[in-house]
């Protein structure tokens, strides 16, 4: 059975018994993709109140992170630490 891949980040999901001896290559590539995606949040100062589906951004003027999931928009007020 061949590897499959996740729909959003195209992370490799090796099949059982696949990648014997080089599993670290797939794992490291997956971690690199997750790391890049997690910190790829654009900073904006004027946007509509809700992002488009699947989008997220930081509103620097309001100190908020806004994320669109399906038909709902979620916001988190950011506080300095």
Residues spanned by the domain of 32: 4-38
Over residues 21-79, the pLDDT tens digits come to 998 999 999 888 887 776 666 666 666 666 666 676 677 777 887 777 777 778 888 88
Are 31 and 48 in a shared domain? no
Are 24 and 48 in a shared domain? no
Cβ-count burial 33-55 (b if 16+ within 10 Å, e if not): beeeeeeeeeeeeeeeeebeeee
Give the total number of structural domains in the chain: 2
The neighbour count for residue 8, using CB atoms within 10 Å, is 9
Question: Given a cut of 90, is residue 80 above it in pLDDT?
Answer: no
- Whose tokens are 């989008």? That residue is 55
Model-level pTM? 0.50
The two structure tokens encoding residue 3: 């590897």
């Amino acid at each position: 059975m061949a590897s499959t891949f996740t729909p959003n980040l195209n992370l490799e999901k090796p099949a059982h018994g696949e990648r014997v001896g080089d599993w670290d290559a797939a794992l490291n590539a997956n971690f690199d993709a997750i790391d890049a995606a997690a910190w790829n949040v654009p900073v904006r100062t004027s946007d509509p109140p809700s992002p488009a589906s699947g989008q997220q951004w930081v509103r620097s003027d309001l100190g908020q992170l806004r994320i669109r999931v399906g038909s709902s928009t979620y916001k988190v007020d950011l506080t300095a630490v």
